[in-house]
Chains A and B, each alone.
Chain A
């Protein structure tokens, strides 16, 4: 049994293969399945941030996307199942803390398509799905199976920080991660 929850009758791998088939990615089904998290962070305080865009110019620990930046290489993909935000502690981006009393409103854009629009991760707004002891949750659990980021397509997040109870804009550093089932390139044949 796979170490994951079945959501309805569709599993993550099913959705990856369905979308890949629709996009004509015939070889994706032969690749290595994995668990993947990608993150990016903006270490300069602001009220609005664009994350993942231009990530190729940043290196670890600011992001873990590497030289390909905000697009996956051939036959790599990520089915986004959870999205969270965090606050970099300083400009080095080496460590982070939770969002405190803030929430984040964001759009997720894949290619030229907005696939998540005006979504808010509220402080403690996901407790039905997630409870980290007494700590409020900053993790958004995507409904359904998730959203696939296909290979070779740019993606980015545009985000705004707000004070959860007062609903005022907040200037702060911001980082976000996308977590889910991934696909890694696997050469099954000689070249």
Chain B
């Protein structure tokens, strides 16, 4: 049965401990509110899939998100985004990857539009890891990774 086509946005937030520089995203969901993650497991349902077209990072870090980063996204056993540094799109320093999605003057928000589509198939585990160069994270601060793109969600169809 064909699924309902849609725009999909999935996100996961991690609460830091003091000095934390390595974050595992889309890996643990226990105890998170629906505003911290809109998933309950790190795979899409059997009738759902999505294509990642852009990624978003936000935080309430006191050190901001302007330092170098290493972002990896793994789908199944395949690294689909490797040692990527979104920091060049952070803040308006004139080195953003493209003019349509260039950085704002808000150094705690980053969006990056990807050049290639990344597919998350149904029922395949995915996860992300993020390493920050700067270690000024305070306990209780949050960082969120969002993935946005085309999606397919379950559709019951027109007949029952």
Contact = CB atoms under 8 A, between A and B. Distances in A.
Contacts of A84: 88, 95
A177 B92 contact: no
Q: Which of B87, B94, B112 has the most CB of A within 10 A?
A: B94
A135 B92 contact: yes
Contacts, number: 129
A93 B94 contact: no
Given A35-B81, A64-B85, A130 B99 contact: yes
Nearest to B95: A84
Interface residues of B, number: 38
Contacts of B118: 34
Nearest to B81: A34
Contacts of A132: 92-96, 99, 102-103
Interface of B: 53-54, 66-68, 70, 78-85, 87-88, 92-99, 102-105, 112-118, 131, 133-134
16 contacts: A3-B115, A35-B84, A37-B97, A61-B67, A61-B68, A64-B68, A64-B83, A93-B133, A97-B93, A129-B99, A130-B96, A130-B99, A134-B92, A135-B92, A135-B93, A177-B95
